[in-house]
Amino acid sequence: MKTETFDELLTSIEQGGAIVRGKKTPSRTFRIDNPNVAAIRRHLGLTQQKFAKLLGISPGTLRNWEQGRRKPEGAARVLLCVAAKFPRAVLDTVRT
């Protein structure tokens, strides 16, 4: 590896460590708004039971999301955002 490339990589790793420790702010961040789960479900025309089954979650989890007691995270949040933007694609893909 070239010395210049190694130095750039080392600097990047040091900056990443400083960001993780809270000593430096990242140069950019990404924010994904929490989807309105109830509105997405209603737009798809599904009951809580059917929507929970479609997502592979328990009805209780769905109720917690809809009532704001909990927020969807990770892949569930991404799937909900896709469902909000491309409902037909989600239904065509997930329904059996």
Type of residue found at 52:
A
Under 8 Å between Cβ of 34 and 72: yes
Question: What pLDDT digit, counting tens, does each position of 44-69 carry?
Answer: 999 999 999 999 999 999 999 999 99
Q: Is the pTM of this model over 0.75?
A: no
Under 8 Å between Cβ of 83 and 44: yes
Domain residue extents for the chain: 1-30, 37-94
Instruction: Choose which CATH entry (1.10.260.40, 1.10.357.10, 1.10.3720.10, 3.30.70.270) describes domain 37-94.
Output: 1.10.260.40
* Token pair belonging to 60: 């209780």
Query: Does position 96 have pLDDT exceeding 60, yes or no?
Result: no
